Chain A
Amino acid sequence: MIYQDSKTLLEVRGLRATVNGIEILKGIDLTVRSGEVHAIMGTNGSGKSTFAKVLAGHNAYKVTGGSVTFEGNDLFGLEPEERARAGLFLAFQYPIEIPGVANSHFLRLAYNTVQAQRGRDELDPLEFEDFVREKMKLLEMNPDFLDRGVNEGFSGGEKKRNEILQMALLEPRLAILDETDSGLDIDALRIVTNGVNQLANKDNAIILVTHYQRLLNYIEPDYVHVMTAGRIIKTGGKALALDLEARGYDWVGVEQRDAAGA
């Protein structure tokens, strides 16, 4: 939602990035203010997921130009774990399995790390157990997931719920959800998006990275951005997503070229 007294959380200016020497992001501009929900849409290979990973600090990507500030600080001056502790959260498109590491242990360590950063109390295993079980209800997750290895043998939908559970625990300032809707059946999509909606408030912001308009029926965006070939080429309101759904992505590029030629 757009609020009058919102604060700028993320400011991206002319961001360029390469992977293996190939330029994927070719000058991205984006401003995200507290309370807002942004959707970044685009075809496969348009650079959406790369953008998400660059913000989170994946070391396979090299930033070659531009700047990003997060709550006024230079984001690229921070290590990935520092970005996370500062309140930048990425819900992974393909959450990684970590066999042998109990989910409860992992969740508690992540939670306590962020709590410590914020000068708040850490929880011992018993306190955390109660706390996390409460959060799991939001996502209709079975407590058995706490005893399993992190994402180990989870179905696609279970992994995505586990991601949003982490979002619920860590209470990020900015959450980037990378294709969180992919691989979800209709019930799981409802549960996951319901969880996200309950976590959204006027102090945080959400960036949804997605192919499909379907997700936006559940989480209403304030802005929709279309990304093609490493640039945001069009920005609009929710109606833009419906246009994309009806007409595909090609027309945006055509309109863009026409505008450039005119």
Chain B
Amino acid sequence: MSAVLQNLVNQPYKHGFVTEIESDVAPRGLNEDTIRLISAKKNEPAWLLEFRLKAYQQWLKMEEPKWPNVTYPKIDFQAISYYSAPKPKQKLSSMDEVDPELLRTFEKLGVPMHERAALAGVAVDVIFDSVSVATTYKQKLAEVGIIFCSISEAVQMHPDLVKQYLGAVVPVGDNYYAALNSAVFTDGTFCFLPKGVKCPMDLSTYFRINTEESGQFERTLIIAEEDASVSYLEGCTAPKFDTNQLHAAVVELVALDNADIKYSTVQNWYAGDENGLGGIYNFVTKRGLAKGVNSRVSWTQVETGSAITWKYPSCILQGDNSVGEFYSVAVTNNYQQADTGTKMVHLGKNTRSTIVSKGISAGHSNNSYRGLVRIAPTAAGARNYSQCDSMLIGDQCGANTFPYIQVRNHSAKVEHEASTSKIGEDQLFYFAQRGIGNEEAVSMIINGFCKDVFQQLPMEFAVEATKLLGFKLEGSVG
């Protein structure tokens, strides 16, 4: 690695989390009493307590998965506090109090001015007029019959819907972290689209009420009834900090006949410092059930943060002619580790799935794609196309591809393509000889590499994601 590269790769991450949060915290440790406490604090119905306790019993019998291509010290689950009352973060009274470095980051990422304030923790009413954006938003959705609220609110207001679908796609004992989440989740998003409703706008967590403390065990449930459709955006490109190191979220999507759910994520959790100290462990279970005929579940993710990412947004293609899609860009730098990919399980006839995965590794990081394509005996005429490309920056990083293909129906067609490339000194010299500096050159090469995925993102998200990648890899080539 050249000196410039060393220098730039080693730029410190300047945005530590310093604000003390006042909170009502449960004692550390996990047992049935903790779960009863969480459930009682949230005033939950008995069936939900049962759900949690059942998950906890399953979790006790399970072991942490060892197969991912990541290493980290053993997590002490008894050292974690599993409940903290959702008190709002301390508000700053004006933009002048915000860390100028953070503002510089927002500027670089092109985050709109009003969002910068909210993201930086400035009280929104200082910035906005008395009519909150979020309230307006919610009214508009209610007019067409869409329910969009926190899952805690949904448990109180729409218990039958939650009861019907919670755990329907990711059962309580699905895997170690999903079981843990099912036992202790504190909040998350609920979204329900009734029959025939096309959501008039992209839904985003950013505009959901009560987003401030969704907690480390987030739970999301999105249901689209017959002929309904929605595009949902999770996260944002601005850096996100949390005092909790372990994050184990569960996301469940259900699409009935002809329904269409598009779920886009930009993940930019704190990734740890240049020596690999700190950073979030992001262990997420995301799964969509394409239950009805002609339904579609589409995942798009841009993963740039977290010290460890363990995440496989998947599609169960149950309905005949249903479609599953997975478009992913995973970027790792410094000592980040990512083991991410998807599962496409074809059950229905003529089901189709597409996987496009782009992994970019820089620094000392390790980036693995792990994907399963399973064609069940019932899935006559099923088709899959997978493309997994890796790009290496520097010579200290790693990229791996672990494709698993199981075909049990002879009429199925499965294609898999993979490539590995490297941003070479000669490419950068070519750009330089035309007057284009290294950073701009890397940004162009990376965006060219990720084009197929970025095209899937909603327009302004794509622009932000493009900038984010340039920012994350700033100076990792020299």
A residues bordering B, Cβ < 8 Å?
56-60, 79-81, 83-85, 89-90, 92, 95-96, 98-102, 105-106, 109-110, 113-114, 117, 149, 166, 170
Contact = CB atoms under 8 A, between A and B. Distances in A.
B437 interface: yes
Contacts of A92: 430, 433
A170 B434 CA distance: 8
A96 B435 contact: no
A170 B435 contact: yes
A60 B440 CA distance: 21
A105 B445 CA distance: 11
12 contacts: A59-B2, A80-B432, A81-B431, A84-B432, A84-B434, A89-B433, A99-B448, A99-B449, A100-B451, A109-B436, A109-B444, A114-B435
A80 B447 CA distance: 23
Contact of A84 (B424, B433, B445): B433
A17 to B, nearest CB: 15
A98 B2 CA distance: 21
A149 B430 contact: no
B429 interface: yes
B425 interface: yes
A168 to B, nearest CB: 13
A96 B449 contact: no
A149 B448 contact: yes
Interface centre among B424, B425, B431 (most CB of A within 10 A): B431
Contacts of A109: 434, 436, 440, 444
A169 B431 CA distance: 15
Contacts of B406: none
B427 interface: yes
Contacts of A84: 432-435
B426 interface: yes
A166 B434 CA distance: 8
A170 B429 CA distance: 17
Interface centre among B433, B447, B451 (most CB of A within 10 A): B433
Interface string B412-431: 00000000010011110111
Contacts of B424: 96
A101 B429 contact: no
Nearest to B423: A98
Contact of B426 (A81, A83, A96, A105): A96
A91 to B, nearest CB: 9
Contacts of B433: 56-57, 80-81, 83-84, 89-90, 92
Interface string B117-151: 00000000000000000000000000000000000
Contacts, number: 75
A92 B445 CA distance: 19
Nearest to A79: B432
Nearest to A115: B435
Interface in B434-464: 434-437, 440, 444-445, 447-449, 451
B432 A98 contact: no
A106 B435 CA distance: 11
A95 B421 CA distance: 17
Nearest to A117: B435
B46 to A, nearest CB: 55
Given A92-B430, A96-B424, A99-B421, 16 more contacts: A56-B433, A59-B429, A80-B432, A80-B433, A81-B431, A81-B432, A81-B435, A81-B436, A83-B433, A96-B427, A98-B431, A100-B448, A109-B444, A113-B435, A113-B436, A166-B434
Contacts of B421: 99
B437 A96 contact: no
A165 B427 CA distance: 18
A68 to B, nearest CB: 16
A82 to B, nearest CB: 8
A15 B431 CA distance: 25
A58 B424 CA distance: 13
Contacts of A80: 429, 432-433
Nearest to B450: A100
Contacts of A59: 2, 425, 429
A60 B436 CA distance: 18
A98 B427 contact: yes
A166 B424 CA distance: 21
Contacts of A102: 448
Contacts of B427: 96, 98
A96 B451 contact: no
Contact of B445 (A60, A83, A98): A98
Interface centre among A60, A113, A117 (most CB of B within 10 A): A113
Interface centre among B2, B425, B448 (most CB of A within 10 A): B448
B432 A106 contact: no
3 A-B pairs with least C-beta separation:
A100-B448, A110-B434, A80-B432
Contacts of A101: 444-445, 447-448
A95 B427 CA distance: 9
B24 to A, nearest CB: 51
B444 A106 contact: yes
B448 A98 contact: yes
Contact of A105 (B432, B444, B449): B444
A98 B426 CA distance: 10
A114 B435 CA distance: 7
A81 B437 contact: yes
Interface in B245-287: none
Contact of A110 (B436, B448, B451): B436
A110 B430 CA distance: 11
Given A101-B444, A110-B436, A166-B434, A58 B451 contact: no
A80 B421 CA distance: 24
